[in-house]
Structure 1
């Protein structure tokens, strides 16, 4: 560690831990205020400073309580961020990772879906002290197009975080033929993985919307006729099982070719962590919740309000900073 590192740490401690202003830190260290600013930035860049922002609305708010009560949920976490885009996906992933970490104990068997939201959860996970955990892939993930499902990357990150053993399902999610699918599922190894997915007491998954841009519509598995039928009869998918407005299978002939956990087996699990948000997920999320497919929910405040039929303007207002907290401290995340 060089002298500048040491000075940067001293400046960061005075600024972040002791709550001094940059001017006060400058007086203490005998340097200029701009130098303090550079030292604090240097401390961040060198990894000497980690800022954690705790938003009480994520784990406790009237909006979350209303959602939990309406759909009999054990827990609701709400992201307060942009209603669309990468920022939303990143925040859903972070909160989903938090919920999963709290739910997993030594020796647990956990089923995992895939998709952009699940990949965000995987990227947000941090190493956890667990032993004997296993993750099982709940549905096939091979694509017939260049578009990746990130199923392998998702499972790898989950297992790395918990020092867990992966149970992969190396198959396409939808076969061309129901008969071929039945033959493949009869293979001993494949049957074992599918049985583990069904038996896992905990699952973490997302819901997909119905649109030409949806991932499942672009993996090369669906015919034009099936796409058209789904846009008429389906409201979304869970674990690549397309469901209608009643939460039932929307296209039985397609479902017979789909590899993975059934909706009935998914709903039977004791712990079902559903992570989804954004405008395209409002209707499928509403149906999934009303049909009892989740026990734990991670979504964003805007989606939560719309699922409840409330105006976004009626959401819980952001709490004011605690009395006596100055703007300098608020900018540092000390609130």
Structure 2
């Protein structure tokens, strides 16, 4: 058994081992010799680096059948960007957002590395939260990150500002808060809140976003609704949305099966950028899972998206629904 290098902490050794393995291409035996530890120790150090969140793995390319799905979705839905990832297994303890988050992180990092994003608009949701988890540390001090919907929610879980706050830590950029709730109590309350100078200052930045990344939500009648879970909509809202034919939620605004805003008063109370303001934006949605199939198709039909990052379940079923509509 070899002794641990006394000049390095465990954390430092873990980072060195991970670097040598993933970047240097060293075998575990070579790393053991380099760090003067046992092979078993190298294995534990690399696992420790993963647990620390220090290892972010991006896999270039996609299996051939996923590439075909991407190409077909791009062609049929007039998308500039489409990434389809393998679906995660439906098992207890599996992070169902891992693949989506990794693909979204890879896309965002590539855009930032290309230096064509000065203002990044952001929505909210589990997929975007996982995207931030999967990003490495970067150095983009001039990047501005701004929410495109209200940042104040009843429960802190998945607060829209939390995504931006953590992105500030990852990039060194500047983050903004839109200091209003997702929904006002009335349309008149919305008007008063949106006229506040602090709100207008942030909105004016948000409308200039070079890239806007968003999640999209299923409505309660389709199963799980994050907005309902967080207490942002109640049973009466759900009933009204169902009666109005809502199929999808995008940035707190509800759409029908054809991608049009439903005639429901809750849409008049949403705080943030309106869909028409977003129509000229470069919007990329990140969403997956069987319960998001109809919501994804609805948002695609709205014509708002320039890009989609999804999984193979959604991709295949969306294309199947499009085929049914063509027959």
Which stretch shifts more, 207-216 or 240-249? 207-216
Query: Which residue of structure 1 aligns with residue 11 of structure 2?
Result: none
Aligned equivalent of 1:272, options 276, 283, 300 = 283
For 2:300, which of 289, 303, 312 is the aligned residue? 289
Q: Secondary structure at the match of 2:183?
A: coil
Give the one of 93, 97, 102 matched to 1:94.
102
1:122-271 maps to which residues of 2 (within 5 A)?
A: 122-144=132-154, 146=155, 148-211=157-220, 213-232=224-243, 233-269=245-281, 271=282
The whole-number CA distance in structure 1 between the counterparts of 2:55 and 2:179 is 39
Q: CA deviation at 1:256?
A: 1.3
Aligned length in residues: 296
- Residue 73 (str. 1) matches residue 79 (str. 2): yes
> Conserved in 1, the CA contact under 8 Å of 2:215 and 2:250?
yes
Select 2:123's aligned residue among 110, 113, 118: 113
Equivalent residue, structure 2, for 1:57: 62
Q: Is there any run of 5+ residues in structure 2 with no aligned partner, and where?
A: 7-13, 322-327
- With 222-231 and 134-143 compared, the bigger mean Cα shift is at 222-231
TM-score normalised over the length of structure 1: 0.77
- Which whole-Å CA distance do the structure 2 matches of 1:272 and 1:83 have between them? 28
Measured against aligned partners, the alpha-carbon deviations of 1:73-92 in whole angstroms (never above 9, x if no partner) come to: 22222221316575231221
My pick for the range that moved more, 60-69 or 277-286, is 60-69
Structure with larger Rg? 1
Change (3 A) 1:135 1:149: same
Q: Residue 61 of structure 1: SS of its match in structure 2?
A: helix
Could you say what secondary structure the match of 1:91 adopts?
Answer: helix
Task: Return the alpha-carbon distance in structure 1 between the equivalents of residues 211 and 306 of structure 2.
Answer: 10
Change (3 A) 1:107 1:222: closer
Q: Which range is displaced more, 238-247 or 147-156?
A: 147-156
Distance 1:130 1:242, change over 3 A: same
Gaps of 5+ in 1: 30-34, 311-335
Displacement of 1:292 after TM fit? 1.7
Cα distance, 1:143–1:61 mapped onto 2, change above 3 Å:
same
Rounded Cα–Cα distance in structure 1 between residues aligned with 2:188 and 2:278: 23
CA RMSD of aligned residues (A): 3.4
Match of 1:333 in 2: none
